[in-house]
Each structure stands twice: as structure tokens, then as C-alpha cells.
């Protein structure tokens, strides 16, 4: 298990053995750009930190902001199986919890957070996709698009030049 506390910029302490090992893989990606509609986007993906925000998605617009945060920030957060809270604000108001519909974006409600209920939701979606003849999982075309994006990110990093996607 490599979930220990970082001890320097390039080393990590293993939580089980206490052994220190070098970190040899990049653990952060920073993206910024302008979308075709003129909106500015900034994304910071990071890993390997145990004392920071486990997951945070913020969307800021001209009329307000949305934030998606872990429902229980003390728990380990996994984007696929964790429960999240959506907060929103308009104008200069403070973010406040927003109530969400019982089922959102085609996901059935989950009675309890965790791997079992999430797996149950995935199986329901898969069965629905089979019945309706729709794909419910990533496919080869999606993988190709993700690799193209990663190649552009790597090229921008290597050259220091803006890349057009």
C-alpha cells in the first residue's frame, strides 16, 4: 500500500512498513486553456497528498458558482463510489448545500454509500443498456480521444508551447 504521508517533494513513506521510497511518477497535471466558446478553463489534478482536499470540483460562472465536495471529508474519497455534496451560490452569496433530485443523470438512488451499492448501480445501468441496445461503458473511440488529449498535454509540457486541441 502506497498511501502514506509525503515526506519530501520526491519521496513517500509507506504507511504499513514506514519505509521511504522515491516517487518516480508525475503526481500532478495542470491544464489551462480557452474553450471554443471563449470560456476560460483551469484544471489541477493531483495525487499523493494525504493532508489536502481529497476531491474538489468548482465551477465558477458569471452568475454564480457550484462546488462538488465529499459528503464526509474525513473519509477516503473515491470518485466512483463516494458520496458527494453539491453546493451552490449566486452572485456574492456564500456557497450553500443544494438538494438533489432522488435520481440524477440516470443513476438510481443509492441506499447506502460504498462499494456494494455502487456496484449494484453499475449492474442496473449495464442491464438497462443491454435491454435498450446502448453502450454503458467506455469504448475504443473514447480511449483514442483520451490518448490524444494526453499526447497534447505531454507536448505542451515538453515544448512549453500552447497546443490547440
What is the predicted pLDDT for the residue at 1? 30
pLDDT digits (tens, 9 = 90+) for 109-159: 444 555 566 677 778 888 888 889 887 777 888 889 989 988 998 898 889
The domain segmentation of the chain, as residue ranges, is: 1-49, 53-100
Q: Characterize 113-130 residue by residue with b for buried, 16 or more Cβ atoms within 10 angstroms of its Cβ, and e for exposed.
A: eeeebbeebeeebeeeee
Q: Characterize 64-80 residue by residue with b for buried, 16 or more Cβ atoms within 10 angstroms of its Cβ, and e for exposed.
A: eeebebbeeeeeebeee
For the full predicted model, state whether its pTM sits above 0.75.
Answer: no
What is the predicted pLDDT for the residue at 93? 93
pLDDT digits (tens, 9 = 90+) for 19-60: 888 877 767 778 888 888 888 888 887 766 656 667 788 888
Find out whether 55 and 82 touch, Cβ atoms under 8 Å.
yes
Find out whether 128 and 103 touch, Cβ atoms under 8 Å.
no
Q: How far is CA 3 from CA 14, 16, 27, 83, 115, in A?
A: 6, 9, 13, 21, 19
Q: What are phi and psi of 125, to 5 degrees?
A: -65, -40
Q: Is the dihedral of CA 120, 122, 123, 128 positive or negative?
A: positive
> What distance in Å separates the CA atoms of residue 135 and residue 129, rounded to the nearest whole number?
6
Amino acid at each position: 500500500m502506497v498511501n502514506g504521508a509525503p515526506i519530501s517533494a520526491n519521496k513517500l513513506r509507506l504507511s504499513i512498513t514506514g519505509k521511504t521510497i522515491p516517487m518516480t511518477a508525475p503526481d500532478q497535471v495542470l491544464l489551462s486553456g480557452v474553450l471554443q466558446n471563449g470560456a476560460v478553463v483551469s484544471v489541477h489534478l493531483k495525487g499523493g497528498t494525504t493532508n489536502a482536499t481529497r476531491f474538489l470540483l468548482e465551477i465558477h460562472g458569471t452568475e454564480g458558482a457550484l462546488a462538488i465536495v465529499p459528503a464526509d471529508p474525513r473519509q477516503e474519497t473515491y470518485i466512483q463510489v463516494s458520496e458527494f455534496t453539491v453546493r451552490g451560490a449566486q452572485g456574492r452569496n456564500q456557497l450553500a448545500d443544494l438538494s438533489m433530485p432522488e435520481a440524477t443523470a440516470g443513476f438510481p438512488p443509492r441506499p447506502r454509500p460504498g462499494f456494494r451499492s455502487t456496484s449494484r448501480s453499475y449492474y442496473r445501468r449495464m442491464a438497462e443498456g443491454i435491454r435498450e441496445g446502448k453502450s454503458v461503458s467506455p469504448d475504443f473511440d473514447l480511449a483514442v480521444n483520451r490518448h490524444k488529449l494526453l499526447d497534447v498535454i505531454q507536448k505542451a509540457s515538453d515544448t512549453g508551447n500552447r497546443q490547440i486541441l
